[in-house]
Amino acid sequence: MPLSSIPPIQGVTGTGYLPAAPQSTNGAEFATSLTGAVDNLQQLQSTSNELAIQAVTGDLTDIHNATLASTRAAVTLELVAAVRNKGVDAFNEIMRMQA
């Protein structure tokens, strides 16, 4: 496949990464992003559980899809836990600051 047929990645130029300008400072976008991430995690875990049940009952036709779904759910859960831990660490650091 020639390189010219690969679409460019949004937010990246030949000189480097261009960060997006902040949209708002009220936290609504962060809350929406966080809610979307949790909803996505729940969907991934639900899919993984359904495929695991199919594997146990013998109804599973493709073990590859079940393995991928399980791995996606596990990695996403680890990511969400890491973000949560960083948020708790940041909160604790702010609480330790002197006024």
Instruction: Identify the domain containing residue 72 by its residue range.
Output: 28-96
Decide if 9 is inside a domain.
no
Decide if 81 is inside a domain.
yes
pLDDT at 12: 47
Decide if 44 is inside a domain.
yes
Decide if 20 is inside a domain.
no
Q: What is the pLDDT of residues 22-69, one digit of tens each?
A: 555 677 888 898 899 899 999 999 999 999 999 999 999 999 999 999
Decide if 38 is inside a domain.
yes
> How many domains does the structure of the chain reveal?
1
Decide if 18 is inside a domain.
no
- Residue 95, pLDDT above cutoff 70: yes
- In whole numbers, what is the pLDDT of the chain averaged over residues? 82
Contacts (Cβ under 8 Å, ≥6 apart) of 45: 73, 77
- Residue 10, pLDDT above cutoff 60: no
CA distance 9 to 1: 17
User: Environment class of residue 48 by beta-carbon count within 10 Å: exposed (0-12), middle (13-18) or buried (19+)?
Assistant: buried
Decide if 59 is inside a domain.
yes
Decide if 13 is inside a domain.
no
pLDDT at 5: 60
